[in-house]
């Protein structure tokens, strides 16, 4: 089977899942993060080398203060509580996004997990926190201008080296749970030739079997890269 090297994940539907079960959105987010831990294990066991998961978008700052504060604390606790597991499993963790906007305690947790896992190579887990595809492109342009690079020097390879995903392979496969069929301002440049897969399953219900169904679909496709 042809296994994608780099999967991008939209773990969508946590709040809808919670509402269906009469729970709070906070319960849904917690269940969603727990499922992300399982999903990373499933990917690693199938030979996926890079997983990039959408954790908190630039647009998510517009949610209620209570929900935002909870999500920040949830991300901090999950990074801290699972640091040893990530390390023992050989998972390298990195956070991409506007780290300067995050609470200081979360920034510190990110630094610790990134430092502790930097030499691991079984799976490269990128968590996109306060990330947006337009932001990523814009910050790359600003850095290029700051470095005084001329227009004639700029090509796709150079531009990609300024994106937050620099040094990573382009995503082969994008999986979105939750039934929605859109990119929601995520890895817009990077997804140019990615295969897209939309699952109707709400993220907390997305199972190992659902991943296998997605991978079987990827294996059936013929990537032409515009040729």
At 182, which CATH number? 3.40.1180.10
pLDDT of residue 225: 63
Asked whether residue 178 is domain-assigned, the answer is yes
State the Cα–Cα distance between residues 168 and 126, nearest whole angstrom.
10
Partner residues linked to 168 by β-bridges: none
Which domain range does residue 22 map to? 6-131+170-218
DSSP state of 3: -
Tokens representing 144 are 């290029």
Known binder of ligand: residue 29? yes
Asked whether residue 23 is domain-assigned, the answer is yes
> Coil, strand, or helix at residue 178?
coil
Tokens representing 106 are 């979360």
Known binder of ligand: residue 66? no
Residues of the chain with pLDDT under 70: 223, 225-227
State the Cα–Cα distance between residues 2 and 208, nearest whole angstrom.
17
Taking a C-beta distance cutoff of 8 angstroms, is the pair 126, 51 a contact?
A: yes
pTM of the model: 0.95
Known binder of ligand: residue 94? no
Q: What are phi and psi of 95, to 5 degrees?
A: -110, 130
> Coil, strand, or helix at residue 50?
strand
H or E segment and range at residue 197: strand 195-198
Known binder of ligand: residue 69? no
State the Cα–Cα distance between residues 89 and 108, nearest whole angstrom.
22
DSSP state of 155: -
Known binder of ligand: residue 220? no
Asked whether residue 100 is domain-assigned, the answer is yes
Asked whether residue 163 is domain-assigned, the answer is no
pLDDT of residue 167: 86
Residues labelled catalytic = 12, 60
Known binder of ligand: residue 57? yes
Asked whether residue 209 is domain-assigned, the answer is yes
State how many domains the chain has: 1
Asked whether residue 141 is domain-assigned, the answer is no
Known binder of ligand: residue 45? no
Asked whether residue 125 is domain-assigned, the answer is yes
pLDDT of residue 222: 77
pLDDT of residue 172: 96
Asked whether residue 161 is domain-assigned, the answer is no
């Amino acid at each position: 089977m042809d296994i994608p090297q780099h999967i991008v994940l939209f773990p969508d539907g946590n709040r809808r899942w919670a509402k269906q079960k009469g729970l709070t959105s906070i319960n849904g987010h917690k269940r969603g993060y727990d499922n992300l831990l399982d999903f990373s294990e499933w990917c690693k066991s199938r030979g996926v080398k890079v997983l990039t998961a959408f954790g908190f978008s630039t647009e998510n700052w517009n949610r209620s203060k209570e929900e935002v504060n909870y999500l920040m604390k949830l991300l901090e606790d999950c990074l801290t509580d699972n640091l040893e597991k990530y390390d023992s499993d050989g998972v390298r963790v990195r956070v991409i996004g506007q780290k300067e906007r995050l609470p200081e305690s979360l920034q510190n947790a990110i630094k610790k997990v990134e430092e502790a896992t930097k030499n691991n190579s079984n799976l490269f887990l990128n968590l996109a926190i306060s990330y947006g595809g337009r932001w990523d492109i814009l910050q790359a342009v600003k850095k290029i201008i700051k470095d005084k690079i001329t227009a004639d020097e700029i090509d796709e390879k150079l531009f990609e080296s300024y994106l937050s995903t620099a040094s990573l392979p382009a995503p082969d496969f994008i999986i979105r749970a939750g039934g929605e069929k859109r990119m929601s301002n995520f890895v817009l440049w990077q997804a140019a030739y990615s295969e897209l897969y939309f699952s109707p399953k709400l993220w907390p219900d997305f199972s190992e079997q659902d991943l296998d169904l997605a991978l079987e679909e990827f294996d059936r496709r013929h990537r032409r890269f515009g040729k």
